[in-house]
């Protein structure tokens, strides 16, 4: 049977992930590198991109989950009801990503990688969410937002 590669969703993070897997030849043996690419683009190993990796590498999802949970350097889905992923890659860093991270930390009294005590918000950082053109950028749940400043960021984390 011909292998049908899954369609790449119209989302800059999936495009970045697909580029990384393509470079690795979609090889089954590149699973760990592919999961790193998920973490870099999404900030953590979210379910949907893991399924996408499984389909792209023709691996059973159980194998992908097994590897994801085995290695401590992978970050699994954060516990918060809402997730704010701030990109801290070069393009975003130059445009003040750190100020954005600091503002969220201060306002919500958490550090990157943590969840607020009330369980409402988790803060995660990513390496490049694939939208350098609108840096500094972040993802609030599923919504990608760009040209952020502290105020615009907090208005999104507070609406939660």
Binding residues (CB under 6 A) for ligand FES: these are 87, 89-92, 128-132, 135, 137
Nearest residue (beta carbon) to ligand FES:
89
Least separation in angstroms between residue 95's CB and ligand FES is 8
- As a whole number of angstroms, the distance between CA 74 and CA 134 comes to 27
Neighbour count for residue 111 (Cβ, 10 Å): 10
Nearer to ligand FES, 31 or 95 (CB): 95
Q: How far apart are the first and last CA of the chain?
A: 47
Do 35 and 64 touch, CB atoms closer than 8 A?
yes
Nearer to ligand FES, 31 or 137 (CB): 137
Q: What is the CA radius of gyration of the chain?
A: 16
- Residue 135 main-chain phi, psi, to 5 deg: -60, 150
Least separation in angstroms between residue 138's CB and ligand FES is 9
Least separation in angstroms between residue 35's CB and ligand FES is 19
Nearer to ligand FES, 95 or 116 (CB): 95
* Bridge partners (DSSP) listed for residue 125: 86
Least separation in angstroms between residue 27's CB and ligand FES is 25
Nearer to ligand FES, 49 or 89 (CB): 89
Do 127 and 13 touch, CB atoms closer than 8 A?
no
């Amino acid at each position: 049977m011909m292998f049908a590669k899954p369609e790449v969703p119209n989302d800059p993070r999936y495009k970045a992930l697909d580029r990384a897997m393509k470079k690795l030849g979609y090889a089954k043996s590149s699973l760990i590198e592919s999961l790193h690419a998920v973490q870099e683009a999404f900030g953590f190993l979210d379910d949907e991109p893991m399924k996408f990796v499984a389909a792209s590498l023709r691996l059973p999802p159980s194998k992908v989950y097994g590897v994801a949970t085995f290695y401590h350097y992978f970050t699994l889905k954060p516990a918060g009801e809402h997730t704010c992923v701030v990109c801290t890659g070069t393009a975003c860093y130059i445009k003040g990503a750190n100020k954005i991270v600091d503002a969220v930390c201060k306002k919500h009294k958490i550090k990157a990688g943590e969840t607020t005590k009330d369980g409402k918000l988790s803060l995660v950082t990513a390496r490049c969410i694939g939208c350098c053109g609108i840096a500094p950028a972040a993802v609030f749940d599923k919504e990608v937002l760009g040209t952020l400043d502290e105020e615009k960021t907090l208005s999104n984390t507070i609406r939660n």
